[in-house]
Amino acid sequence: MKRLGLHVLLIAAMGFGCGPPADKVERTAGRDKSRTENYLKAHVLLMYPVSGRTLFVTDGKLGVYDSGHNWRKEFTLATGEGFQAQPDHHASSHFDIKDVNRLGVVLKYSNRFDHGSFGKGLITIDEGEIKLTFKGQK
């Protein structure tokens, strides 16, 4: 009976806002730009235009999921489409093609990191744009 009373008290306390604190979201613009640009340059092995789209070949750290939910490290995208870093339970990074010109692409990026496992109720999100020049253009 004591155990039931304790459970009822805990449920009531959580219902009145006494539960664990909600995650705080901290947003920044361009803070991770240099690190993200270096990451992309290291993991994109080839990138060049093909019939109005852009072909990417990566080392597998970056990619897209196909319709069968298989990870693809070689993919072709149009303006407005995107790819991502292989997700883990703390961090995720997404990249969308904003523009393509004769020299390369402009990517919009969004990096998200959840600090919850480290005892902090914090999620950091950094967004920005990066210009990448074509690699291995044919």
CA–CA separation, 117 and 97 (whole Å): 32
Using the Cα atoms of residue 86, residue 87, residue 88 and residue 92 in order, give the sign of their dihedral. Answer: positive
* 84 pLDDT higher than 80: yes
Number of Cβ within a 10 Å radius of residue 93: 21
By C-alpha distance, which of 32, 62, 27 is closest to 45? 62
Report pLDDT digits (tens) over 1-60.
Answer: 455 444 444 444 444 444 355 579 999 999 999 999 999 999 999 999 999 999 999 999
pTM for the model stands at: 0.80
Which pLDDT belongs to residue 72?
A: 97
Residue 127 has pLDDT above 80, yes or no: yes
